[in-house]
Homo-oligomer: A and B are copies of this chain.
Amino acid sequence: MDSAPLHQAIARLAAEMTAHGKHRDDPAREVMGLLGDRWSTLILLVLETGEWRHADLRRTLGQLSAEQAISQRVLTLKLRTLERDGFVARTITGSVPPKVSYRLTPLGRDLHGQARALIDWINTRADNIRLARERFDAADS
């Protein structure tokens, strides 16, 4: 039984956790979940280039995605979430037809920069990861 170092580790971690976060409405978990979803990082990437209207943004995301296009409904949902957290700003001008523009806030640009760092790290390790997967899949037969 190596229970002593084990409990020590638990105590250390528990202290670290309760220091920040752990309680409900934990932005860290929620934002990480957002960045891990199907579209948000791609949306940030496009909005980084300037101001976009809903339809144009939707078309462009479809072209950038290897899979299929984002549905209108989901784009609205994602933009709402991003806007709610303060990463995206929404501007309305005119109402028939409506003209709505989206752009990054300074906070959103900063978030995108941070996320890119992680994504780039993964991309440079991509072959490494692919190799590990092949080995793993071949191993158990």
- A contact patch SS: helix
Docked CA distance A32–B50 (Å): 24
Q: How many residues of A contact B (CB 8 A)?
A: 61
Known: A32-B118, A60-B13, A66-B22. A85 touches B132 (CB 8 A): yes
A123 within 8 A of B: yes
Known: A13-B64, A50-B9. A32 touches B24 (CB 8 A): no
Residues of B within 8 A of A63 (CB): 10, 14
| Copies held by the complex | 2
Contact of B130 with A14 in the complex, beta carbons under 8 Å: no
A23 within 8 A of B: yes
A73 within 8 A of B: no
What would 11 more interface pairs be, CB under 8 Å, given A32-B35, A35-B35?
A13-B64, A27-B123, A31-B122, A34-B36, A85-B129, A85-B132, A86-B128, A86-B131, A86-B133, A111-B125, A117-B117
